Each structure stands twice: as C-alpha cells, then as structure tokens.
C-alpha cells in the first residue's frame, strides 16, 4: 500500500499540472492529467474531491489575484471541471452528497447563454445540483421551477441593461416571491455585464447578491445556500 502522505504528494503534482493546463486554457492537456491520475490508481472520488475541487478553488484564488485573468480562463476552468466531474460522478460508488440546489436561466428577453454556462460549470463542480431553465425565461417560470426543484437559489443571468433592470426580469421574480410568500424559502442571485458596471444595480432589482464572474458566482451561491440551510 502507498503511504497516505505520498498519495497526497502525488495528487499535489497532478493538481499543479492540471491547474497549469487550465490556466493555459489547454483542455487536452488538462484531460490528460486526469487520465494519468486515473491510470495511477486514484479513484473517481479522489479525482473529484482531492483534485478537481481544490483545483477550481485554487483557480478562483489565482484568477481573482491576477489582474490579467481573462474570459478564456474562466470559461475553460468551468468547462473542463464540469466535464471531468460529470464523467467521474458516473463512476462513483455512491452518489455524492449535494450541497444544495439551484435553478438558473437567462432573464426574459435575453438570449445570451455564455455567462450562465460558466456559472453552471462551476456550480456542478462544487456539488451543487443545477437545473438549467435555458434562455429567455419568464419570471413565473423561475419561481415555479424553484418550487418544483426545491431549490434554495434562483440564479438569473442578463447581458443587457433592459433584461437586467427591466420589469420582466429579477424585479418580477422578486415581486412574485413576495406575493406568494416565498421570500424566506429562496435567495435570488444575479449576474451579467450590467451588474459589473453598476455594482449597486443588484440591490435596485431586488436580488440578494451578485457576482462578477463565474468562479466567484460559485462562492456567492454556496454562501447563500448555507445561510438558508445551515
């Protein structure tokens, strides 16, 4: 049997190699590292919990420190991590414990799905169950699906001002939650370009929180889930 500390040390080198590949937005190289770790006898559970998740967390820290961090890196971090996690989960001996549930979609009138996709990738990797409601989602549907899925968080993405700040998006979701007395049950988190320009906008539209990029979206949403169900 390999002593525990050397398993950790080995995983360390994989984490570094994996992160370097992701940082360089090199998907093939990242997947190769995962294949090597599997071949070396690491279980799918180890790969997810001791390699991919720490790697995403490390990337979060790295990207938030690095003033030059770019969209391609955020996209690849989320993309590769979600891809690997999904593959590994199929091979888990027992289904993992999920940390919470989120419904996500783009606001009514908005067909821009990239931001949502990045956020979803990060959430999946963090063991949050995500139901994707797609694009151009009416406020009513956000609420209905959140109830049906027993979600803790409603996540709304908008790329344009009229879908972020308009009457049919988050503002309406908030109004419906109030009318249906569901405000204690769900948190609303928003994101997308307009919220990055005006950092107070999330409050004006009635959201509980917002995040500037996909990797911090993961953190913010997890925090909201934990506050609701400690």
Partner 1 sequence: MMTSMEIVRAALQGNPAPRIPIFCNLLDQGAPELGMSQAEYYARGEHVACGQLALRTRYGYDNLWSLFYVGREAELLGCQEILFAEDGTPNVADYFLRTAKDIESFTIPEDITRHPVWQESARCLQVLRQESKGRFPICAYLTASTTLPALLMGMDKWLELALSGPDHLRAQLLGKCSEFFRKQVAAYREAGADLLLYSSPFGSSSFVGMRRFRAFSLPWMQRDLTGLGVEDLIYYCGTAPINPVIGEVMQHLGLRVFYPSPKDDLAVTKALVAGNGLTCGVIDDISMISWTPEQTRAEVERLCHIGMPGEHFLLGTAVMPMAVPEANIQAYMEAAFTFGSYR
- CB of 207 closer than 8 Å to CB of 188: yes
Q: What does 110 bind: partner 1, ligand B12, none (CB cut-off 5 to 8 Å by kind)?
A: partner 1
Which one of 52-60, 92-100, 136-144, 157-165 is the stretch in contact with ligand B12 (CB under 6 A)? 157-165
Helix or strand run (H / E) with residue 194: helix 193-197
Closest CA to 161 of 203, 120, 205: 205
Q: Which is nearer to partner 1, 45 or 132 (CB)?
A: 132
- The CB density around residue 198, as the number of other CB atoms within 10 Å, is 12
Instruction: Please identify which residue in 14, 56, 112, 187 interacts with partner 1, judged by CB under 8 A.
Output: 112
> Which 14-53 positions form the footprint of partner 1 (CB under 8 A)?
25, 27-28
Restricted to residues 77-96, the positions that interact with partner 1 (CB under 8 A) are 79
Binding flags for ligand B12, 105-144, as an x/- string (CB under 6 A): -------x-xxx-xx-------------------------
Q: What sign does the CA torsion over 48, 49, 50, 51 have?
A: positive
207: left (phi over 0), alpha (psi -120 to 50) or beta: beta
> Binding ligand B12 by CB under 6 A: which of 88, 194, 201, 208?
194
| Residue ranges that bind partner 1, judged by CB under 8 A | 25, 27-28, 68, 70-73, 75-76, 79, 109-114, 117, 136, 160-163, 165-167, 194, 197-198, 200-201, 204
């Amino acid at each position: 049997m390999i002593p525990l500390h050397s398993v950790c040390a080995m995983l360390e080198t994989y984490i570094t190699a994996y992160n370097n590949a992701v940082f360089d937005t090199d998907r093939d190289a990242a997947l190769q590292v995962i294949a090597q770790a599997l071949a070396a006898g690491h279980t799918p559970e180890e790969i997810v919990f001791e390699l991919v998740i720490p790697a995403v967390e490390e990337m979060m820290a790295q990207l938030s420190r690095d003033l030059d961090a770019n969209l391609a890196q955020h996209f690849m971090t989320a993309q590769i991590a979600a891809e690997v996690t999904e593959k590994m989960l199929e091979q888990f001996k027992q289904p993992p414990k999920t940390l919470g549930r989120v419904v996500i979609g783009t606001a009514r009138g908005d067909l821009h799905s990239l931001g949502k996709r990045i956020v979803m990738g990060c959430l999946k990797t963090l063991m949050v169950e995500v139901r994707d409601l797609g694009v151009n989602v009416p406020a009513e549907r956000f609420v209905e699906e959140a109830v049906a899925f027993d979600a803790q968080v409603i996540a709304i993405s908008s790329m344009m001002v009229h879908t972020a700040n308009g009457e049919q998006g988050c503002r309406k979701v908030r109004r419906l939650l109030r009318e249906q007395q569901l405000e204690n049950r769900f948190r609303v988190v928003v994101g997308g370009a307009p919220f990055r320009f005006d950092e107070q906008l999330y409050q004006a539209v009635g959201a509980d929180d917002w995040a500037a990029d996909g990797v911090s979206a993961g953190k913010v949403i997890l925090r909201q889930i934990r506050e609701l169900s400690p």
